[in-house]
């Protein structure tokens, strides 16, 4: 897709969102079904993802780990965002890779040490790009990718989170 095509595709959306800011608010959702053992099946819209325990928490490694899925969502979002930004800027990014890695201390997850936080303590996102873009253009590309990547910004901003339950 070329820069002009992307602008034409997004122009009516941007106009509508400026005129009616409420129309820009979209609620995404996901749901899962608790399965046998310590698993939860999540319908992705394309396939069924079955998540279970990571081997560091007692799993056998055959099921998806929700931590891995979080990093995968970050990589997917950052990759699509980078491609969109590069297209909008008219930068030639011929290919490359996006990777993320994160550090977890399972002492927190398994309540071995109540002082150890649960969750990622650090996440590193890396782009290896095949491009002839200048250093200045690369800095702009990465700055705008970071700014507009939904998953990255969600992780960085700690949005309001509500947890509810219902027994039936």
Cβ–Cβ contacts within 10 Å for residue 18, how many?
A: 10
- Answer yes or no: is pLDDT of 51 > 80: yes
Of 1, 3, 2, which is closest to residue 88 (Cα–Cα)?
A: 3
Between the CA atoms of 56, 154, 165 and 32, what dihedral angle is there, to the nearest 10 degrees?
A: -60
Tell me: the pLDDT tens digits for 112-127? 999 999 999 999 999 9
User: Rounded mean pLDDT of 93-111?
Assistant: 92
DSSP letters, 67-121, are HHHHHHHHHHHHHHHHHHHHHHHT--EEEEEEEEEEEE-HHHHTTS-TTSPSSEE
What is the predicted pLDDT for the residue at 132?
Answer: 94
- Answer yes or no: is pLDDT of 31 > 80: no
User: Rounded mean pLDDT of 100-109?
Assistant: 92
- Answer yes or no: is pLDDT of 27 > 90: no
What is the predicted pLDDT for the residue at 1?
Answer: 78
């Amino acid at each position: 897709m070329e820069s002009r095509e992307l602008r034409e595709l997004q122009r009516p959306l941007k106009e509508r969102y400026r005129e009616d800011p409420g129309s820009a608010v979209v609620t995404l959702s996901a749901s899962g079904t608790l399965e046998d053992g310590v698993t939860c099946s999540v319908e992705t819209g394309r396939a069924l993802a079955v998540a279970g325990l990571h081997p560091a928490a007692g799993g056998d490694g055959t099921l998806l780990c929700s931590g891995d899925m979080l990093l995968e969502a970050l990589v997917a979002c950052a990759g699509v965002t980078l491609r969109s930004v590069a297209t909008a800027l008219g930068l030639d990014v011929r290919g490359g890779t996006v990777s993320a890695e994160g550090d977890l201390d399972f002492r927190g997850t398994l309540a071995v040490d109540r002082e150890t936080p649960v969750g990622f303590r650090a996440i590193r996102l890396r782009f290896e790009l095949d491009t002839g873009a200048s250093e200045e253009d690369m800095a702009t590309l990465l700055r705008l990718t970071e700014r507009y990547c939904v998953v990255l910004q969600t992780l960085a901003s700690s949005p309001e989170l509500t947890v509810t339950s219902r027994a039936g």
